[in-house]
A and B are shown apart, each in its own frame.
Chain A
């Protein structure tokens, strides 16, 4: 487990931290030598035990670096590069303009359409859930990885996860019935605003432990993005629905109006 964490950290570190990597490798080598010597002499000296504790501290330092580094998003269907390190916090004023421009709308619509065509080529039937997931992922890509919710959506696993979540929920409800009612009365003492904030945190992906200010930014961006998603998907749906009934020339005219 430690080894995997360290490898992850090493892969994700930017060039400035090669220094730490070098030190870590040197440490590993020393550790190896000491273990060999202790094996041969059958006793572990004070120095080597000190070294071992220092080594474990260093490993923990590396492990702590990992949550701060954003994982590069893995999107199976396309290879778009999202730079995880350059995170520019977006001002609330910008978010309104950003998601309302026609350009963003066009970018999202075209990407979504491409994704849909590709998915239709690979699998014969697309369920609504898959489509929703695809739309969300394309939306996150359009966000260019600048917001937390977009990164959370891209980092989340594909459809397989949702079935497991349902099982977990069923188990929890059985236990709460067996609990005494005293526990429920204590829970009601939580302030109302806190509870609502908690609910909001659960709704916006990737924001479960976010502070108030950042949550505001994320929420405003998320709402604006969702509105754009609804507009774009409505346009595509209308176009396809109209396309069924009409001739190709009419279809061209309707796209221009979108």
Chain B
């Protein structure tokens, strides 16, 4: 069959189109486009069906594993796809590694090295036990995240635009430094021993729970990464859609109860807002997909992210 590849403005991206066998898959088309255009490797391509004039709504994105014939206009042996360049891409694992490795090194810099001299604080620094535990806790958290990135998570879209590396690293590294500055400050005021224990206790329990949530999510996806959505179930997922975000938020709350810095709470608020945004999207996607029709199960009533609030 003949596939013509056009840009969103109508210009032909591959002159003369591409000839493929009738049983070719979308992935074969992507390889062919890459071969013809050299710089657009498949991860950079976003292929959609042209939107019918007069119709609104989002264009249909071609599924990499599907057959091209699934998208053909009925009967005809030809297909037009709209191409968008997503820009240079990096693997999600690359992106996550760089965003998490920053805090892992930045926090100990404030703990071990005499940084505060340069802020005008001369002299000996007394280190409270809570500051030591906080450093281990914080660093373990980001170490855990890196390990999960390489050994636990199964990613749906394999790549992310390169610009996200800068944006995400700025977010994590700046907040890491912001929190580390206050937690390790020579004039730091610790909370009571009991409060510290309660805080770290909550944090550790939630980190373990969070890890278990990630294992459960991993097992929803097959190793070949065939994608697709499943209804998450088991453990906390039975009552809240994004239990992984829930445990992450409560884990940071534990850290903040133990260390009590405004910087930590600001980070908690921003992180919670970002995760809530994601959770609302995921929850509504799952509810739309699992609508109970055509033999599909109906998505059960659940909290979105933070019982008892949302």
Do A and B interact with each other, yes or no? no
Measured CB to CB, the residues of A under 8 A from B are none
